[in-house]
Amino acid sequence: MRLPAGRPPHAGWCGDHPYGQPMIESYTSAHVLQCALTLTSLIEEANHQVTLTSFTVQDPRREPSPQWMAWETYRIQNEPDTSRPILAYIHENMVQPILEDHRQLPSSDRRSVSAVLFGPPGTSKTTIVRAVASGLKWPVVMLSPGSFIQSGLDSIEAQAEAVFRRLQALQRAVVLFDECDELFRKRDPTPHTEQTRGIAAFVTASMLPKLQQLHDRGRVVFFICTNKVESLDPAVTRPGRFDHLIGVGPPDEGARRRIISTLVPPPGPAYWQDTIDALVKSTERFVYSDLKLAVHELLRSEPTSTDEARGAVKIVVDRLAPSLAITADDMKSFIAEQSSHSYPFTRGGGINASP
Amino acid sequence: MSPPPDRGSRVTSAAATPLLQDGAFLAALCSEAATTVLSLWDDKRSTFWRSTEHRDKNEKTAPEDALYPTVTFTCTDALARLALERPEWLAEQQRSVVLRRIAPALAEHSPGTFKSSLRETEYTNSTYVCALAQVHAAASLLAKPVADKVVERVREGLQRIVEHVTGTGSAAGPRRRVHPFISYHLLRAIHQSAVVSRDVELNREVTTVAGDEAELLRNTAIELLARRQMGLLAPAGAVALGLCSSALARGTTSESLPVVLAGLEVALAAQDETGCWPLGRVVSEGKEEGGGRLELSTFEIGWARAPPISAQRRCRHASLDSFAPEGTQLRH
C-alpha cells in the first residue's frame, strides 16, 4: 500500500478488510517484518545445512567429542602455558563473548572472529580448535590444501572462490585452515624461482579480500593453524583479518608437572617426587604423547632408589629425544618467532593481542 | 465493493525473485517494514496507532494515557527482534528509539490494566509476554532498572496467562475453547519467556499449562487431520491445523512430531498460488466474550510456519529440497 504525500508512513501494509479505504496498518506491517526476519533465518539455516554437506565436517552435536575434549574440561586440564595461559585467553576473548552474545555470533568489533595458532608440530593446535568448537557446540569445517587444489593448481583461484563463497553461507561454525600455509605465504622475494614466487604472491593476494569478507561478516569463527607464523604474509596476520595471533608451544614446566602427575599411579615410592622433578626439568620439547611414553618407560625400568630413578630419567630422555615431534631447530625457530613480535611472548606459548 | 487494495503485490513480486540468493531483498523489506511501523509510534502516549486512519481520526482527542495494547505489543516484539537480530538493517536513530523509548515503555504497562478491542484476552496477554521476552533478550542494552522491571512484568504476564487458562484468580470461571491461533501465541509466550521468569512455583504451573495446552492442540490436530482424510476439511480448518502444527513444533516431542509434520503439509497445501490463504483467516471463536472478529494476516500465518519447518529440519525428516527456491520458503 502506498499513500499520497503527507505524514509518514507513505508505504506499508494492511489487511484485506478495509476495502476501499487506503490505510497502512502497524499490526500487519509488524507481521511483514516478523515474516521477513523469519524467512531470512530459515534461508540462512537451510543454506548453512546444505553448505555444510559440501565440506569435511566434525559436528560435536552429531558425533560427541570425548569428554576430555569438552571445552570446560580441556581448557583447565590442558593449559600448555601456566604462566600466561593461552586457553584462558581464547576463552575470554573468543568463546565467552560469543556465548554471551544474544545472537551467539562472533563480532569483528569485539575481535572474537579469528585467530592464527602457530607453533611447532604436535602442540595440539588442531585439538584446541576442536575443543573450542565443542565449547560453542558448533561444527568444525576442516580445510586442507587439498580443498583448494583438488581441481589442479591451474584452478586454484576458481576453487578458492568457490570455497569462500560456500564459507560465506555458513553461520555458527568453526572453520579451520589446517596446514594451508602455502595459500597465505609471504609475498617477499625469496631465493625460490621467479615463477614459484609469482604464483605464491598471486594466491596470497587473492586470499586477502576473501579472508577480510569472512571476518567482517562475523558469522563463523576461523583459525589458521601453522607451524611457522613467519612464513605467512604480514597482510594476512594484520588486525582486521585475524583478531589474535597465538603461539602454542609444548607444555611448559608447570603443565608438564600436571601431565606427568596424572600419568603416574599414586602413591609412588618416597623418592618418586625427586624423579618427577627430574623428568619435568629434562623434558623441554616433550608434548603429551612424548611424556606419556617417557613415564611408561620409566615405570617399566622399576628403579628402587633416587639415584636409580634419576639415572633412568636420563636414559629415557636421551633415548626419546631424537624421535621427538619437535626438533631442537623447531623449538629455536618458535622462540625466535615469538620474540620477533612486539608483544611479550612467554616460554610455552604466547599471545599477540593486536591493539 | 471495491477490490482489496494492493493485497498480493508484494507477495507476487517476492515469488518472482530467487530468495535463496537475494538477501538484499529481505533486508530492504525489513527496513521498509520497520520504518512503516516506527512511523505509527506515538512517543507522547507511548503507544502504536493501529493504522494511519486510526491515528488521523483519534490523535487530537485520544487521552494522553491511551494504549492500544495488542498492536503495541505486536509492533514492539517485531522491532525489538529486528534491533537484536539484524541491527544493521535499522538506522542508528531508529535503533535508539526502539531500545531507549519503545522497549522501556513496555515495562510501564501492567497486565490487567490494559484493555484492547479484543478485551483482555489470552491473546493480548500472550503478545505482551512475547514482547517482554524479546525485550529481555536485549537486557544488556537496557538500563538495569528497566531490565529488572521487564523480568517482573514477565512474571505478572505469565501469572495472568495461568489464571486465564485454569480459570483461577481474577479470571475465575470456566475457560472457553479457544482457536489454535490463541493457543499458538500462548505457547509461544511460554516458550519465549522460559528463560526469563525466575519464579520456580509459577514456572511449574506454567509448564503444566503448556503441557495441557499441547495435549489439547494435539487432539484438535488429530481431529482436523481425520477430517482432511475424509475430504471434509474447510480452508479455515487448514489454517487452524497449521497453527496447531506451529504451536506443537515449539516443543517438538517424538509423540507430536508426526502431527507437526502432517499439519505443516496440509497448511502449505492450502496456500494459493500467490502465497496467500484466501479463506479461513477469520478467527472468531477464540475471541471469548469480546465479540467482533480478528482476521489473521497472511504474513502472520506465513511467519508461524517457521517452527514446524525448523522442527522438520532438526529431526531429519525433511529432505533439503523443502527449502528449494520454488518450494516452501516462497510461500511465506
In this predicted structure, what is the pLDDT of residue B13?
33
In this predicted structure, what is the pLDDT of residue A108?
85
Cα angle for residues A330, A331, A337 (degrees, 5° grid): 90
Average confidence (pLDDT) over A157-170: 90
Give A88's DSSP letter.
Answer: H
In this predicted structure, what is the pLDDT of residue B324?
31
Mutate to test the interface with A, among B40, B56, B84, B293 (most CBs of A within 10 A): B40
- Give this prediction's pTM: 0.77
Question: Nearest C-alpha of chain B: how many angstroms from A143?
Answer: 24
Please name the residues in contact with B207: beta carbons below 8 A apart, sequence gap of 6 or more: none
In this predicted structure, what is the pLDDT of residue B19?
44
Q: Can you tell me which residue has the cell 562475523?
A: A218
| Peptide bond preceding A9 in cis form (omega within 30 of 0) | yes
> CA-CA distance, B301 to B311, in Å (whole number)?
17
User: Which has the higher per-residue pLDDT, A191 or A249?
Assistant: A249
User: Which has the higher per-residue pLDDT, A256 or B116?
Assistant: A256
pLDDT classification of A352: cutoffs 50, 70, 90: very low
Nearest CA in chain B to A102: B137
Q: Which residues of B touch A1 (CB under 8 A)?
A: 5-6
CB pairs under 8 A between A and B: 173
In this predicted structure, what is the pLDDT of residue B252?
66
In this predicted structure, what is the pLDDT of residue B303?
86
Domain boundaries of chain B, sorted by first residue: 13-175, 179-332
10 Å CB burial of residue A46 (0-12, 13-18, 19+) is buried
How do B282-283 and B294-295 pair as beta strands? antiparallel
> CA-CA distance, B135 to B84, in Å (whole number)?
9
| Closest alpha carbon to A242 in A327, A86, A351 | A351
- 3-class secondary-structure state, position A244: strand
Which of B78, B295, B303 has its CB closest to that of A15? B295
Yes or no, beta carbons of B302 and A35 under 8 Å apart: yes
In this predicted structure, what is the pLDDT of residue A342?
43
Average confidence (pLDDT) over A123-143: 93
In this predicted structure, what is the pLDDT of residue A190?
57
Q: Which residues of A touch B117 (CB under 8 A)?
A: none
For residue A132, pLDDT beyond 80? yes
Q: Where are the beta strands (DSSP E) in A193-313?
A: 221-226, 244-248
Task: Provide, rounded to the nearest whole percent, the portion of chain A with pLDDT above 90.
Answer: 28
> CA-CA distance, B261 to B309, in Å (whole number)?
8
Task: Provide, rounded to the nearest whole percent, the portion of chain A with pLDDT above 70.
Answer: 87
B23-44: string of b/e by CB count within 10 Å (b at 16+)?
Answer: eebbeebbbbbbbbbbbbbbee
How do A140-143 and A56-58 pair as beta strands? antiparallel
pLDDT < 50 stretches in chain B: 1-19, 285-291, 317-332
Helices (H), A218-264: 234-237, 253-263
| Closest alpha carbon to A110 in A94, A87, A90 | A94
How do B41-42 and A349-353 pair as beta strands? unpaired
Q: What is the ipTM of this complex?
A: 0.85
Please state, rounded to an integer, the average pLDDT across all residues of chain A: 83
For residue A339, pLDDT beyond 70? no
How do A174-178 and A140-143 pair as beta strands? parallel
Question: Nearest C-alpha of chain A: how many angstroms from B211?
Answer: 25
> CA-CA distance, A301 to A299, in Å (whole number)?
5
Please name the residues in contact with B159: beta carbons below 8 A apart, sequence gap of 6 or more: B111, B169, B202
Average confidence (pLDDT) over A238-254: 86
In this predicted structure, what is the pLDDT of residue A188?
66
User: Which has the higher per-residue pLDDT, A213 or A229?
Assistant: A213
Which of B53, B74, B138 has its CB closest to that of A30? B74
In this predicted structure, what is the pLDDT of residue B33?
96
Nearest CA in chain B to A6: B52
User: Which has the higher per-residue pLDDT, A258 or B102?
Assistant: B102
- 3-class secondary-structure state, position A175: strand
Average confidence (pLDDT) over A186-210: 69
In this predicted structure, what is the pLDDT of residue B11?
32
Question: Nearest C-alpha of chain A: how many angstroms from B213?
Answer: 24
Yes or no, beta carbons of B75 and A30 under 8 Å apart: yes
- 3-class secondary-structure state, position A143: strand
Which of A26, A34, A43 has its CB closest to that of B71? A26
Give A322's DSSP letter.
Answer: G
Yes or no, beta carbons of A27 and B19 under 8 Å apart: no
